[in-house]
Structure 1
Amino acid sequence: MKAVTTPPPPVDVVLPCLNEVDALPWVLERIPPGWRAIVVDNGSTDGSAQLARSLGAHVVHEPRRGFGSACRAGLAAARADIVCFCDCDASLDPARLVPFVDEVRAGRTDLVLGRRRPTARGAWPVHARVGNLVLARLLRRRTGVTLHDLGPLRAARRQALLGLGLTDPRSGYPLQMVVRAADAGWRIAEHDVPYLPRTGASKVTGTWRGTWHAVRDMRAVLAEPPPPRGAARATSPAREGGAR
């Protein structure tokens, strides 16, 4: 008998997860129909992995702690042509990724990010907003790309993302993606998305100390020198054929 091969899903959604058992049901029920949720368990002790699996998610275990390590493990496990990223704390609705994916699939943009718009006081602490604003300005100075937010809700083609060679294991991963995409000539866009009060305690920017560590990680990414002219790290998906 021939082995039965399962076709890849149209979209994979990578969800880094560390003790998010209370948020997982809300997040997973909002994954668009037909898409695959990849929950990357980054050392949870509250049963998050078991719950995610029971709710139909594909679970990947990444013992190396760090947001970037979890995202890299999820990207490595993805099989879809288009891969999305979303926080797993119920602060962002993965259903909002549908127009992002449509834009990438149509070849209009190579990387789409969500610009977070808080829906309630306290959803986005002041210190986290300030850190984000500073980094956005440093990004513009480093790459020429103007963004208002470096949020985690985003979509791009899987092979192109792999070609960026992302390595940051911690909070610098989202910024490294944008910096290397900009260096490669990608078309980068952002669109407003509602930002809700998260469920549970923040693992990164919930405190001044956490924000400081995140900014430190990201400043290290910005210190990376751009590639020599004519030797970009990866080719823009548009120049590889764009829309399919």
Structure 2
Amino acid sequence: MITTSTIELSVVMPCLNEAETLAVCIRKAQGYFERSGVVGEVVIADNGSTDGSQEIARELGARVVDVPEKGYGSALMGGIEAAVGEYVIMGDADDSYDFSDLDPFVERLRAGDDLVMGNRFRGGIEPGAMPPLHKYLGNPVLSFVGRLFFPSQIRDFHCGLRGFKRESILSIGLITTGMEFASEVVVKSTLAGLRISEVPTTLAKDGRSRPPHLRSWRDGWRHLRFLLIFSPRWLFLYPGAVAFLIGLIGSVMLAFGPVEVGSVGFNVSTQVYLLALTIVGYQAVLFALLAKLYARHEGFFIPRSAAFERFAERATLESGALVGTALFIAGFVIGVLQFAAWAAVGFGGQDVVDTVRLAIPAALLMILGVQTIMAGMFLGILSVPVRRR
């Protein structure tokens, strides 16, 4: 007799009006249990179907879990939380994945892996199973971005067939409700140091007669947005650092006089724009650092390095105030010297270009100083001890 304590594997399928293909998916999963001897259950995480999918599932002996909160991620989390197996294999209920051939996933899970990803590009994609836009652009690009941003070796970030230890996945704090859930599982598992592997799997043509729920550009952007948000280095730090260095070096060079590159001359008007670029870049760098410090403070899973940990130990309200004050004073001194030079000539007329040339770095230093002081104050807020419930 099968009881909840003896179930090893839960096959979870998100469902939203999948009456055309749900039965064949359930039968394939049940056939796998019979053939392999794996003690398992089929859990249908229903997201509000109106086509009778729930009745089909119950008639075939699957367990139906009603998930009222809409979205692919919401449905899957509802099913995962309700599952009782030690291991979970999730996959779409559109008959594009073969639930009768789950041995590679179960073998890796039994070997100790926390997350086992399917790879459709290694296993094979049937003609017409994946739109060319997804096959040659969307999936390869987003998977490359994921490997670039995070220390992951996964080649197919968005394969819908994947297996994992239930407790391991529940421990990493998955929160997204939409299609970006697929990326979140890989990213947070990687950042949490879980043991991850990849096995070939095949992708068949969708068995439904209606269009899929996936919206290429909208859901692709949601995946990319998630990857960017979870990697402030690429979204803010690297672009900000480049902008800051270009602006700062250019501003300093022009503070000593006009610069000519070939037939092109640069003067104070260029210096003004470089001032703005420096400030924007510095703000982006500060935001990246503050975002990582906040995530560290709250216990989020984020990429960390020894250099960042050393910085985090030294980043305090006091250190920010000291650095910011030093920058502000440097700019203020330049302003005072300019004022003294003007007073020495009886506050008469000045050469506008030469005056602005020095006023720009003075203003820049004071602005950067104030920004640094404000960042230090935010760090002070983060460092206030609080009693958490």
The letter of the residue matching 1:89 is: D
Superposed CA RMSD in Å reads 2.0
Q: Report the CA distance between 1:96 and its aligned residue.
A: 2.7
- Equivalent residue for 1:123? 129
Q: 1-side partners of 2:202 and 2:187: how far apart?
A: 24
Flag structure 1 segments of 5+ consecutive residues without an equivalent: 235-244
Taking structure 1 as the reference length, what is the TM-score of the superposition?
0.85
Q: In the alignment, is residue 135 of structure 1 matched against residue 142 of structure 2? A: yes
Q: Deviations over 1:67-120 (max 9, x none)?
A: 00101100110111111111100000123322212211221x221111114443
Q: 1-side partners of 2:211 and 2:83: how far apart?
A: 26
Q: 2-side partners of 1:52 and 1:133: how far apart?
A: 34
Taking structure 2 as the reference length, what is the TM-score of the superposition?
0.54
Match runs of 1:48-67 below 5 Å: 48-67=53-72
Q: Confirm or deny: 8 A CA contact 2:154 2:198 kept in the other structure.
A: yes
Q: Confirm or deny: 8 A CA contact 1:118 1:124 kept in the other structure.
A: no
Bigger radius of gyration among the two: 2
Q: Confirm or deny: 8 A CA contact 1:172 1:221 kept in the other structure.
A: yes
Q: Report the CA distance between 1:27 and its aligned residue.
A: 0.6
Q: In the alignment, is residue 191 of structure 1 matched against residue 199 of structure 2? A: yes
SS in 2 for 1:141: helix
Q: 2:167 aligns with which of 146, 159, 162?
A: 159
Q: In the alignment, is residue 114 of structure 1 matched against residue 118 of structure 2? A: yes
Q: 2-side partners of 1:88 and 1:20: how far apart?
A: 7
Q: Report the CA distance between 1:204 and its aligned residue.
A: 3.6
- Equivalent residue for 2:80? 75
Q: Report how many residues are paired.
A: 224
The letter of the residue matching 1:50 is: E
- Equivalent residue for 1:178? 186
Q: Confirm or deny: 8 A CA contact 1:97 1:153 kept in the other structure.
A: no
The letter of the residue matching 1:25 is: A
Distance 1:192 1:64, change over 3 A: same
Which has the larger helix fraction? 2
Q: Confirm or deny: 8 A CA contact 1:97 1:155 kept in the other structure.
A: no
The letter of the residue matching 2:59 is: S
Q: Percent identity?
A: 33
Between 1:11-20 and 1:124-133, the stretch displaced more is: 124-133
Q: Report the CA distance between 1:228 and its aligned residue.
A: 4.3
Q: Deviations over 1:123-177 (max 9, x none)?
A: 1111222211111011011112122212011111111110011011000001100
- Comparing both chains, which one has the higher relative contact order based on Cα–Cα distances under 8 Å and sequence gaps of 6 or more? 1
Which has the larger strand fraction? 1
- Equivalent residue for 1:98? 103
SS in 2 for 1:93: coil
Q: Confirm or deny: 8 A CA contact 1:11 1:80 kept in the other structure.
A: yes
Q: 2-side partners of 1:153 and 1:138: how far apart?
A: 20
- Equivalent residue for 1:41? 46
Q: Confirm or deny: 8 A CA contact 1:171 1:214 kept in the other structure.
A: yes
Q: 2-side partners of 1:162 and 1:180: how far apart?
A: 11
